[in-house]
Amino acid sequence: MTILSPGEAIGRLRADRDILLARVTGLTEEQLDADYLVDSGPLGDFCRSLHDLIAHVLMWEEINLAVLTEAAAGRQHWSLDPRWEDPAVGRALNIGGVEAGRHLPASLLLHRSASVHDAIVADLSRFGEESWDSPGLGAVTQRVWTVPGNPAYWHAAIHLGQVPSIPPAAGRRP
C-alpha cells in the first residue's frame, strides 16, 4: 500500500468535501430529504436522500477524527478492534448513524460537518513526515479513510459517483 503524505490526504479530504457541498449547497430541507439514489458502499444501501448522505459522511468523519486523535496519542480506537470491523456490525453502525441524522435538520449536520472537517485538517496539518511515519500514523489514517476497493480519502465522492481520476504523484511512499 502506498501511503499518501499529510498534504495529499488533506487535499483529497478537501476535494471530497467540496464535491459534497457542490451537490447540496442551496438546496432546501425538502430537496435534501427527497429520494436520491446514492451509490452504495461495500456495506449496502442505507442512504435514501442527500440528507442521509450528509449524516453518513459526518458520522464516518467523526469516528475517523477520533481514530486520528487516539493514534496520535499512541492508543487504538475502539473501531479498529476486529469485533467492530465485521461487515454486519459496520452496516448496523451506518444504519444507526443515518437514522440519528434524520432527526436533525440538514443545516445543523452541515454546520457540525464543517467543524469536524476543520478539526481533521488542523490535526493532519500538524503532522510532519517524521511523526506521520514513525508510529504508523499515516498508515492508520489512510486505512480508516479508505472505503474498501476505492482510492484513499474519498467518501462523499464515492457515494455521489464523482471520484476524480488520480494521477500518480511524486513523493508517495510504498
For residue 107, give the CATH number of its domain. 1.20.120.450
Confidence of residue 166 (pLDDT cuts 50, 70, 90): low
With respect to residue 166, please indicate whether it lies within any of the assigned structural domains.
Answer: no
Query: Could you tell me if residue 114 is inside a domain?
Result: yes
Residue 121 inside a domain? The answer is yes
- 90 touches 40 (CB < 8 A): no
**Pairwise pLDDT comparison (17 vs 73), residue with the higher score:** 17
- Please write the tens of the pLDDT for every residue from 85-140: 888 898 899 899 999 999 999 999 999 999 999 999 999 998 877 778 777 888 89
Name the domain count of the chain. Answer: 1
User: Is 0.85 topped by the overall pTM?
Assistant: yes
Residue 164 lies in a domain: no
DSSP character string of 16-72: HHHHHHHHHTT--HHHHHSB--PPPBTTB----BHHHHHHHHHHHHHHHHHHHHHHH
Identify whether 167 is part of a domain: no
**Residue 99: inside a domain, yes or no?**
yes
Q: Calculate the average pLDDT of the chain.
A: 87
- pLDDT category, 170, cuts 50, 70, 90? very low
Question: Could you tell me the residue range of the domain that residue 12 belongs to?
Answer: 6-159
% of the chain at pLDDT higher than 90: 56
Q: Which grid coordinates belong to 108?
A: 445543523
Residue 168 lies in a domain: no
